[in-house]
Chain A
């Protein structure tokens, strides 16, 4: 990819706006279309673009395994943890009314935390899946014992 300077430059220019847009979608899910899922996917798309242009080894330097794999679980734990926290504060599981001094603020807080958890998990899982698919390609290329690459053409 060393010769494709247009692609490399455009990727470097595009990645920050994509991530910014992902954050915007995450936090403005209350006021317009958006929310955790869309934001996680858009954020992951920035990393996928980086992997397509610069290769999986450099992508692993940006998103190493010790970050992406635990992050898959941290999102789910955050979501379930909000439910446990509401139980400890006196309400039922996932009853956001008890999270703050009045129900309106409690609901706002609960939705914010929950969507954050969803966004984290979706981002981590999408990046993990894609990088595993790409790294399998390198693994298969080094191990030529499993038949031709281009099957029936």
Chain B
């Protein structure tokens, strides 16, 4: 049963991605990207990664879609027909995809409990985290305690992104000029 849901969700995601490439109306593309995020959040739930699904649904389908819509409101609504030759990018993409698929032939099968990824640090986290750290949610204990440095770095990255957007779109100096212009425009409209 799980495999059926798995295949159906992946098929939906492939169809959504291909539609996003083909469509030229950027509003529709943004809506499809929200759907893509939501489908991937469902896939994460299927893979037993519930924290990741939560974050992907909130951040990907929520914040990302809203920011892209905000950008569209400030810029164009549709993409121009691509004029360049698309055979070379297609060739590059096919070659890269073939190389990656050739690389996966070495990987352990999906769901294999004997895979190397489950043998080294993960058993220690699973067995010792209730005793050493405490919280039942192992992901929180690994995130905040065992790998606390990474989370500190991540918080700093979010802070830096906020500063970056403030620098790019802050425009505090122009507010007085904008208010003066608005006042002049209102006075002009009132007269005529």
Contacts and interface: CB of A to CB of B under 8 A. Distances in A.
A94 B165 contact: no
Interface in B105-162: 132-137, 139-141, 143-145, 148-149, 151-152, 155-156, 158-159, 161-162
Interface residues of B, number: 54
B151 A76 contact: no
Name the interface size band of chain A: 35 or more
Interface in B61-77: 62-63, 66-67, 70-71, 73-77
Contact of B170 (A34, A41, A104, A132): A132
B67 A114 contact: no
A125 B152 contact: no
Contacts of A76: 152, 155-156, 159
Nearest to A112: B144
B161 A129 contact: yes
B96 interface: no
Given A31-B137, A128-B162, A111 B74 contact: no
B134 A136 contact: no
A25 to B, nearest CB: 8
A115 B144 contact: yes
Contacts of B79: 152
Interface in B151-192: 151-152, 155-156, 158-159, 161-163, 165-166, 169-171, 174, 178, 181-182, 185
Closest 7 CB pairs of A and B: A151-B76, A125-B162, A30-B135, A133-B70, A33-B50, A41-B58, A132-B169
